[in-house]
């Protein structure tokens, strides 16, 4: 049976370190500030924004929650971003994805001051990730996956890591991060996606599998070599009449069968999810530190 990688416990450890750093910044007169902008009233986005705001408050960060109506125009949203770019009490800005269809999300991301882009989606930060420049911001979920592996003492150096999924939010930046030339990376990375041939054969050669495809229970025991480490990024709603809300959350990995074969595995929920928000807080503190 696999060891369970407890994302909540590891996130708590991150918060202990962050609290120390936040206290230190406050002695220098700086309270890290995060602004989260939500356009429209998508219920899942609302829930994410609420939990980010709550975590900021728990850590004693300055938190601004900007809830704009779904009818907000591109020009108005750009104006708000400009205001936040110019606000010295704000060190990190994120515009909750996905915005309504009439908003050009890429243009909004480009309008962010890259020094405040704590989601790490601005082209300048993507370039810094490619260039191994540690002053940039790395997207929170990939950063959380790397931290989970490090804190769980799983060897990344020289390991063959197969990432399932090539999105700009998870798969692609994670592959770039894990192949960086440093001792917390140095992995041999293979990325597979919906057009990959022989996917199962490739995943079976992995020391570490990271699944980020958004397909409930896709990764089965047959995809996994005995003793491999399996990180499940997926968060998928599946209907469940017995559940209070009518659905439950499952990952991209068929947990029951894969956990019998893996040496370590993350649960869903309670694995990568809590790390994503911890890394957002960490990036905000980093932005404040770098503003000094």
Token pair, residue 23, equals: 């206290």
Rounded to 10 deg, the angle between the 140-151 and 7-27 helix axes is 110
Q: Which of 42, 87, 116, 119 is catalytic?
A: 119
Torsion angle (degrees, nearest 10) of CA 106, 93, 210, 198: 0
Residue with smallest beta-carbon separation from ligand NDP: 167
Catalytic-residue membership of 26: no
Size of the site for ligand NDP (CB under 6 A): 23
Residue 193 vs 220, nearer CB to ligand NDP: 193
User: Whole-angstrom Cα distance, residue 242 to residue 110?
Assistant: 44
User: Binding ligand NDP by CB under 6 A: which of 61, 103, 138, 213?
Assistant: 213
| Distance separating the N- and C-terminal Cα atoms of the chain | 48
- Where in 173-202 is the site for ligand NDP (CB under 6 A)? 192-195
Establish whether 96 is a catalytic residue.
yes
d(CA 145, CA 148): 5
Among this protein's residues, is 146 annotated catalytic? Answer: no
Question: Does the footprint of ligand NDP cover residue 109 (CB under 6 A)?
Answer: no
Residue 233 engages ligand NDP in binding (rule: CB under 6 A): yes
Binding mask 127-166 for ligand NDP (x = CB under 6 A): --------------x----------------------xxx
Q: Is residue 170 a contact point for ligand NDP (CB under 6 A)?
A: yes
Residue 234 engages ligand NDP in binding (rule: CB under 6 A): yes
Taking residue 57's Cβ as centre, other Cβ atoms within 10 Å add up to 11
Q: Please report the sign of the dihedral spanned by the C-alpha atoms of residue 40, residue 37, residue 55, residue 233.
A: positive
Residues 6+ apart with CB under 8 A from 244: none
* Residues assigned a catalytic role: 52, 96, 119
Q: Which residues bind ligand NDP (CB under 6 A)?
A: 141, 164-167, 169-171, 192-195, 212-215, 233-236, 272-273, 276
């Amino acid at each position: 049976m696999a060891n369970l990688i407890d994302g909540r416990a590891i996130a708590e450890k991150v918060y202990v370190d962050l609290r120390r750093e936040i206290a230190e910044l406050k002695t220098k007169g700086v309270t890290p500030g995060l602004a989260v902008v939500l356009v429209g009233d998508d219920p899942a986005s609302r829930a994410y924004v609420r939990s980010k705001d709550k975590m900021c408050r728990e850590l004693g960060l300055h938190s601004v929650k900007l809830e704009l109506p779904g009818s907000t125009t591109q020009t108005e949203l750009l104006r708000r971003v400009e205001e936040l770019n110019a606000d010295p009490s704000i060190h990190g800005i994120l515009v909750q994805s996905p915005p309504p269809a009439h908003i050009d999300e890429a243009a909004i991301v480009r309008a962010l001051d890259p020094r405040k882009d704590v989601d790490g989606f601005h082209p300048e930060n993507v370039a810094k990730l490619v260039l191994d420049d540690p002053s940039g911001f790395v997207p929170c979920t990939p950063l959380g996956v790397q931290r989970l592996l490090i804190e769980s003492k799983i060897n990344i150096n020289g390991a063959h890591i197969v990432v399932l999924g090539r999105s700009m939010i998870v798969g692609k930046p994670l592959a770039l991060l894990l192949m960086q030339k440093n001792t917390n990376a140095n992995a041999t990375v293979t990325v597979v996606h919906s057009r990959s041939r022989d996917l199962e054969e490739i995943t079976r050669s992995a020391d570490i599998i990271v699944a980020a495809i958004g397909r409930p229970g896709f990764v089965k025991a047959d995809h996994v070599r005995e003793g491999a480490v399996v990180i499940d990024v997926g968060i998928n709603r599946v209907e469940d009449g017995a559940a209070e809300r009518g659905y439950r959350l499952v990952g991209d990995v068929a947990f029951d069968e894969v956990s019998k074969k893996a040496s370590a595995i993350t649960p869903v929920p309670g694995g990568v999810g809590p790390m994503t928000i911890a890394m957002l807080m960490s990036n905000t503190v980093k932005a404040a530190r770098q503003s000094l």
